[in-house]
């Protein structure tokens, strides 16, 4: 192993990095891997989800700056680098019929042009591995779906000097693997739900599982299970740093840590693209890369 390993995690909003793959990133940081989080938007249209902070006039007026500071704190906790793509949060349209997306938002950007910003980040950082969302965005938020779209373009485009000229986007780079975050998967949810009930404890997952059936979510292929339970506490601290989004007494934290570690000590991914040979299932995002670097 002679080449420095580098992992890039592409996320839609500040807080997504701490709820999706955070323990994985902290694990790799502890092993000396360079990890960069790329955040597509500033989360400007995100609601204040922590009931303790709702109604705070300062936060409501300065939500963009508040969320930047929260991201700074989470980044320090995880030990990662972090950069912004600079797009504007699209918000989550609700209603029937759905209202139009706001003018100038991320989800309405031209995908090729938006991907160019990510191509420049990839070529500058030179990651062997990139993580992002699947074609449904993990859940159908327009910014998550757009994050998937530009990630797929940029994964291929980073190596294509004709599509994205080097004089504008930097010297070409070929990432080796691309993964979809699949941490909110049904097998994990069922396992934790049943473990809590078997111990006579209340489960926060009953409604989740009911909605799973209601929306007929397609089961994803979990190709890669990263053992990272030693970093669950760091994950939780990073998530709590996003105070406007997370209630520290809420459902995210109702499963005792010892049960999490015993029942489901991994985070899951779906291998979407690979330019190296690897055997599935994997326990390392860099499988097939370490020995050939």
**Interacting residues of 78 by C-beta distance below 8 A, sequence separation 6+:** 17, 18, 22, 25, 26, 29, 35, 37, 234, 238
Q: Phi first, then psi: what are they for 90, rounded to 5°?
A: -85, -15
Q: Half-sphere exposure of residue 10, counting CA atoms within 13 Å on the CB side? A: 35
Query: Which DSSP category does 233 fall into?
Result: H
Q: Phi first, then psi: what are they for 107, rounded to 5°?
A: -65, -15
> 13 labelled as ligand-binding?
yes
Calpha distance 293→280 (Å, rounded):
20
Q: How far is CA 4 from CA 31, 126, 177, in A?
A: 11, 10, 15
Q: Phi first, then psi: what are they for 35, rounded to 5°?
A: -125, 125
Task: Check the CA dihedral 283-219-133-11 and report its sign.
Answer: negative
H-helix segments, the chain? 16-19, 22-30, 57-61, 63-78, 111-125, 142-157, 166-169, 186-198, 206-215, 232-241, 257-263
Binding residues for Zn(2+): 13, 16, 144
Annotated binding site: 13, 16, 144
């Amino acid at each position: 192993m002679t080449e420095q390993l580098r992992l890039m995690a592409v996320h839609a909003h500040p807080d997504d990095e701490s709820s999706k793959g955070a323990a994985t990133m902290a694990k790799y940081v502890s092993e000396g891997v360079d990890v960069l989080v790329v955040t597509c938007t500033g989360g400007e249209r995100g609601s204040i989800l922590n009931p303790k902070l709702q109604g705070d006039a300062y936060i409501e007026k300065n939500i963009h700056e508040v969320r930047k500071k929260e991201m700074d704190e989470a980044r320090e906790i995880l030990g990662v680098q972090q950069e912004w793509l600079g797009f504007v949060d699209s918000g989550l349209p609700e209603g029937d019929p759905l209202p139009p997306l706001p003018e100038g938002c991320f989800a309405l950007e031209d995908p090729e042009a938006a991907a160019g910003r990510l191509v420049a980040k990839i070529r500058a950082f030179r990651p062997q591995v990139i993580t992002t969302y699947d074609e449904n965005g993990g859940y159908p938020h327009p910014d998550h779906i757009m994050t998937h779209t530009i990630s797929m373009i940029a994964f291929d485009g980073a190596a294509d000097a004709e599509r994205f000229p080097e004089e504008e986007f930097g010297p070409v780079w070929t990432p080796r693997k691309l993964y979809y975050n699949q941490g909110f998967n049904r097998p994990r949810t069922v396992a934790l739900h049943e473990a809590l009930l078997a111990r006579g404890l209340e489960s926060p997952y009953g409604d989740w599982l009911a909605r799973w059936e209601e929306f007929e979510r397609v089961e994803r292929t979990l190709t890669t299970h990263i053992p990272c339970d030693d970093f669950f506490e760091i994950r939780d601290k990073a998530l709590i740093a996003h105070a406007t989004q997370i209630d520290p007494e809420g459902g995210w934290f109702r499963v005792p840590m010892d049960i999490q570690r015993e029942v489901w000590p991994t985070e899951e991914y779906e291998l979407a693209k690979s330019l190296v040979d690897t055997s599935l299932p994997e326990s390392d995002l860099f499988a097939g890369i370490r020995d050939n670097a």
